[in-house]
Chains A and B, each alone.
Chain A
Amino acid sequence: MKAKIADRIATVVFYIIALLLVLLLAGLLGYILLKGLSHISWHFITSPPESFQAGGGIGPQLFNSLYLLVLTMLISVPLSLGAGIYMAEYAKKNIWTNILRTVIEVLSSLPSIVVGLFGFLFFVISMGWGFSILSGALALTLFNLPLMVRVVEDSIRGVPSSQREAGLALGVSKWETIKHVLLPAALPGIITGIILASGRVFGEAAALIYTAGMSSPNLDFTNWNPFSPTSPLNPLRPAETLAVHIWKVNGEAVIPDVNAVSSGASAVLVLFILVFNVSARWIGKRIYRRMTSS
């Protein structure tokens, strides 16, 4: 009898915990979105920020975030594909692979501020690229790579070994099996992973404040020559991203509408993360369906 009462009590406690969690999570999301959405307007997301007055927007910051995201992914996707394939298919089970795995884990657990400071030391100062999109994208690559390698490795490992054996049995070489059988089969997982990583990269700030910088020069959105200093595409200009902007306006508090700007920008960030998450699920499922024709 005692055991049954204990069971009842425990069940109730678990329900209470779950209820509290749901309230907390829903409250947090609702707070961020409801508070921010009222500040979002077309003017807010397209116009440049003000330095001293109220009414500034986040246009250049939003562009910088997206541009950095694209550059980071262009660098880190091929690298992580290569490294992931090696870890899944070529690495033998020995002490070297074990060390390799530890190295990747250490890299992925480094605090992002440490990655940012390394980027500051190496890209900004030693290489002389200054606070720039290039330095920022490379720092974000370092921060992003270990996670992506893991995603690629897990997706490839998840492919049933019958497919691998079928490829080899047909007399196709190992590399060709990887390229024509394993990679396509692993694609849904890899793409989902890439989109989720994009969300992480999009909101990262600590790795960027000392690499991409905390200022955004006046941009001329009609000038698409990447070598011109006012062009949005110029990789050597400093670029404050949306997340960094939220941090900066709260630290400096020069503009009178700090709260409005940051809650609007926070809501934009969360909306983007929401889009990334939903599309990751949807695209992953869709590709899977198309590839398996089920």
Chain B
Amino acid sequence: MSDRVVEWTKMKSARAKSKIWIERRGRMVTLLCVAFMVFVAASILYFVTSKGLSTFVINKASITDFLFGKEWDPGKLDKEGKPVVGALPMIEGSFAVTLFSALICAPFAIGGAVFMTEISPKFGKRILQPVIELLVGIPSVVYGFTGLSLVVPFLRDHFSGSGFGIAAATIVLTVMILPTMMSLSVDAILAVPASLREASLALGATRWQTIYKVVLRTARPGILTAMIFGMARAFGEALAVQMVIGNSAVIPKSLMEPASTLTSILTMGMGNTVMGQVENNALWTLALILLLMSLIFIMIVRILGRRRTFE
């Protein structure tokens, strides 16, 4: 009798132990996966930063020359023996295409999002939503190729120049970030509690007044977040821009002249340079600027996120 009791307790404690073991193992395995991601992020930061800084540390270029210099010819040395790495044309190009495309895109994205949520939700959900999801997924080279075969010839025929330039890149990016901006704006507007809308309508406000004074104001941080994500996508886009901007590292005189962005020069140059040389290090510094900009975008999103509460 007592034997069986002892056996039973032994069995039970063994089972309990194995359960604790399973618990710990599960926790450990999932924690390892997270640790791997942190490790990856840290090594990307480390590698790109150390490579990017070597232009300044090893090749002795000055940071102000890099950020504000207008001449980009990393193979050459100037009078003081420093490499000629003025990245201003690329930095300006990147900011120009990002800002222009965001400015053109924003009204359409917000207008479309309002239409989908406030004016005709049925049509929005049935037709616009799936099309937008599909467009988010269309590869950037396809956008680039469409720009190359449609936008560039159009600009060449109707305006001056070769058609390659900031204008073409802006048009391609506008279409490209439209789905991103719009679907995130829809999410932001949908998060506005229905009670606010009802209260406004009950006070006798028209639909437009409700949209303008209640819905859009309440959803503002979320909509701004959507704009920032769209801008981040435009800033980091490489191939679609590279295909239509013309890739000459000078500050263009007009929107129709060939220009360049950080990503386009990076994409073009990396294959033609040798690791460890000045030309290559200078490209890594461009990559570092891209990395820092995406950190800044995330910081802005985080700050906006803190204000995203509905009281």
**B210-230 CB contacts (< 8 Å) to partner A:** 211-212, 229
Assess whether A149 is interfacial by the CB under 8 Å rule: yes
Task: Say yes or no: A117 contacts B270, CB within 8 Å.
Answer: yes
Task: Say yes or no: B37 contacts A173, CB within 8 Å.
Answer: no
Assess whether B295 is interfacial by the CB under 8 Å rule: yes
Assess whether B89 is interfacial by the CB under 8 Å rule: no
Task: Say yes or no: B207 contacts A277, CB within 8 Å.
Answer: no
Q: Which of B69-77, B161-169, B236-244 contacts A (4 or more CB under 8 A)?
A: B236-244
Task: Say yes or no: B38 contacts A103, CB within 8 Å.
Answer: yes
Task: Say yes or no: B302 contacts A276, CB within 8 Å.
Answer: no
**B7-44 CB contacts (< 8 Å) to partner A:** 19, 22-23, 25-27, 29-34, 36-38, 40-41, 43-44
Task: Say yes or no: B297 contacts A109, CB within 8 Å.
Answer: yes
Chain B, Cβ-Cβ closest to A207: B238
- When A86-B31, A109-B232, A173-B19 are in contact, do A100 and B134 touch as well, CB less than 8 Å? no
- When A103-B38, A110-B294, A114-B291 are in contact, do A250 and B44 touch as well, CB less than 8 Å? no
**B275-295 CB contacts (< 8 Å) to partner A:** 275, 284, 287, 290-291, 294-295
Q: How far apart sit A202 and B139, CA to CA, in the bound complex (Å)?
A: 8
Assess whether B196 is interfacial by the CB under 8 Å rule: no
The residues of A that contact B263 with a CB separation of less than 8 Å are: 111, 113, 206
Q: How far apart sit A60 and B267, CA to CA, in the bound complex (Å)?
A: 24
Chain A, Cβ-Cβ closest to B24: A175
Chain B, Cβ-Cβ closest to A248: B141
Which of B135, B144, B275, B287 has a CB less than 8 Å from the CB of A25?
Answer: B135
The residues of A that contact B141 with a CB separation of less than 8 Å are: 203, 205, 243-244, 246-247, 266, 269
- When A173-B23, A247-B239 are in contact, do A32 and B146 touch as well, CB less than 8 Å? yes
As a 0/1 sequence over residues 57 to 99 of chain A, the CB contacts with chain B under 8 angstroms (1 = contact) are 0000000000000000000001111110111011100000000
Assess whether B104 is interfacial by the CB under 8 Å rule: no
Task: Say yes or no: A85 contacts B30, CB within 8 Å.
Answer: yes
Task: Say yes or no: A200 contacts B111, CB within 8 Å.
Answer: no
Tell me how many residues of A have a C-beta within 8 Å of chain B. Answer: 93
Assess whether A54 is interfacial by the CB under 8 Å rule: no
Chain B interface, DSSP helix/strand/loop, else mixed = helix
Assess whether B208 is interfacial by the CB under 8 Å rule: yes
Which of A26, A79, A269 has a CB less than 8 Å from the CB of B131?
Answer: A26
Q: How far apart sit A73 and B289, CA to CA, in the bound complex (Å)?
A: 30
Chain A, Cβ-Cβ closest to B46: A118
Measured CB to CB, the residues of A under 8 A from B are 3-4, 6-7, 9-11, 13-15, 17-18, 20-22, 24-26, 28-29, 31-32, 35, 78-83, 85-87, 89-91, 100, 102-107, 109-115, 117-118, 120-122, 125, 142, 145-146, 149, 173-176, 178-179, 196, 199-200, 202-206, 209-210, 214, 243-244, 246-247, 250-251, 259, 262-263, 266, 269-270, 273-274, 276-277, 281
A-B contact pairs, 9 of them (CB 8 A): A3-B206, A3-B208, A7-B206, A11-B208, A82-B29, A83-B34, A115-B44, A142-B40, A277-B130
